[in-house]
Structure 1
Amino acid sequence: MFKPQIKVPATYMRGGTSKGVFFNLTDLPKPAQVAGEARDNLLLRVIGSPDPYGKQTDGMGGATSSTSKTVILSTSEQTNHDVDYLFGQVAIDKAFVDWSGNCGNLTSAVGAFAISNGLVNKNRVPDNGIAIVRVWQANIKKSILVHVPMTNGEVQETGDFELDGVTFPAAEVKLEFVDPADGDGALFPTGNVVDDLEVPDVGTLKATMINAGIPTIFINAEDIGYTGTELQDDINNDDAALKKLETIRAYGAVKMGLITNINEAQARQHTPKVAFVAKPVAYNASSGKHIDAGSINLLVRAMSMGKLHHAMMGTAAVAIGTAAAIDGTLVNMAAGGGALSEVNFGHPSGTLKVGAEAKKINGDWQVTKASMSRSARVLMEGVVRVLF
């Protein structure tokens, strides 16, 4: 006798340049309302993983790191917060859900979901104007303010804000990442803004390793044979390049103290990220849009789940803005150096502006806030059917 599928209320949303399946915690089956194997198995089946074909045809995933994502939201248990936000990055070809970090892009959809699903006190939501949803990011234990536009008592999704990497315009959603140093560790886990990172078979690379938004390893594009203008096919169709970048990521993770040996990197795919930077030059984005060198401060390309990201992860953008604000980092130097409270950087799909406030306290760098604008909208809502 075959078991029937169950129906789980869910909302399929785009947030920034990502999309994922959103759940209200209390709508999940009881065994999946707590962290553990039951929850992971449910989300894997919803997304369609593990898929040896790499397509996620039998699930809601889109077979890329940007579209293999899940979100669980609940009324916040934290003081002065509205909603608790838990993010699960689902591996495509492995039976693995990575809970080690946040998704900055999907953060832009969290506020809208929370308001529409009654997770925010109605007294905090104006009929018209901006609702500021106070989000507790449970993965990394950080506060995020999501500015959600409201019109006639409803979340406004349409608008004229354009975001490179997203085809159609929508309403602008401003994000403020409060004290964005990732987790409880130092902003620079090695104590240095630039380190020598020794990577076997690659060499000794200059690297800025930072915990902001998400743990990120920045290296110079030219040090690994790139210009910083690369698009997805230039990297993702090159097995040797992918192996090299993953090796750099693994050794950087050890140096950052995130893992104890490089073999553990396989079980920690979501973090840290590895990105390469370069001074601005003109290039054509993946859409064909021409990006003039004078319109940007620097070039950045970032890897996500083993592939070059088609645009830029929101959390990595926080790391970029934070590193740019601190004199002497590789990001700061690629952007021309000096005090940079805001940078506009070029990525494979176009450009993105991000700002950060950094200051030195008792000899240590601290970042009080990072900000950027994204957009979000509901793609579909109802129930997802899954064997559980």
Structure 2
Amino acid sequence: MRVLILEDDPWIADLLKQIVLSLCPSAKVDCQSRVVDALAAWKRQPAQLVISDWHLPDGNGIQLLEAVRQRSQDIPLVMVTARADRDSVLAIRPLNISAFISKPFQVPKVVASLQPLLANAQIIAGEIDTAGDFLQQLASLTDDALELPLRESLYQRLRDVPQPFDNLQQLGDLWQNDPAVHARLIAAANSGNYNSAGQPCVTLNEALQRLGQATAVNLVQGLALRPQAVLSDPGLQRQGDAHFVHALRLRQRIAELARSSRVDPAPLHSAALLQRMGELALLDQAQRWRSTGRELDEQTLDTALQRHSSQLANRLKAHWRLPIALRELIGACYALPPGNTRRDTVVMRLASAELLGAEAPEIDRLRRLAGLARTGAR
């Protein structure tokens, strides 16, 4: 089946998309941010379910719903709105709206609203294409198809009955070790929808403060709704766990060095978790590939990791509009820019070099740049 979503906030649109796919993995979901584009998409190919925000930058979502009703009285319509007054509901009563989703919304309530509509709609599952080449698939991926897998422990907690949170600090404590959560919330906090002042956001706590509890919880629960949210394949899971463990070890060493160097560790912690984003994004694609029954041998996977990890990481940094300061910290894990004098990037490089077993002269040089005693003097 085909689902058309009209929502100008790309993060909310993606969340609605993930909810639809969690309930109907075979659905083809088309997200549009402008009324005119949604109307054009509807005319090109009608959908079996339409979800529309009420107010859009270029007009009113009711225009789309009216166009649908001119063609069919049976297609389920869902209105997303912050307006819940009686007059507004009565004004669109002739459209026979199937469900209203009130903003700010809670994911479980949205799932409960959409589930019967998707169950009753005509679902035509497409044939799985078992042909093709994984390396070619990687080269043809669009940026919005790239994601990071959740850690299994957090995924299970998100899939369980949601627990109430008293404050943002509790969320930060729960999510602080997950790269996918850091990436999603920092990217959202730096987007135009949540960053009207243009101030860069580089840490999880900054992102939580900017997004607020309700939005942050919705975005993270959306990650858990993806059909392939974790690395369930044993081989891929082992590789993913190795990258997760490396990130946590890097964070721990950064905390120790930052205290001695008088550097704020929080931005470096974010960079540590995102250092292996390219590898994790590639493993996520490998999980999707194998989940459809297609073969992917270890040699091809190793080749893909060598050829494409760095490229995927760079694409994600640009697509998520990560701040330059955060990109530089991530890059410092591999090398320092010529003439670098920033202590935070030196600390980042030093921690990474120590974990990777760099030669003693290089470690001593980096410690001097960080204002620390030489290795032998510790």
**Which one has the bigger helix percentage?**
2
**Structure 1 length as normaliser, TM-score?**
0.24
**Structure 2 length as normaliser, TM-score?**
0.24
- Which one has a bigger Cα radius of gyration? 2
Identify which of structures 1 and 2 has the higher relative contact order when contacts are C-alpha pairs closer than 8 Å and 6+ apart.
Answer: 1
**Which one has the bigger strand percentage?**
1
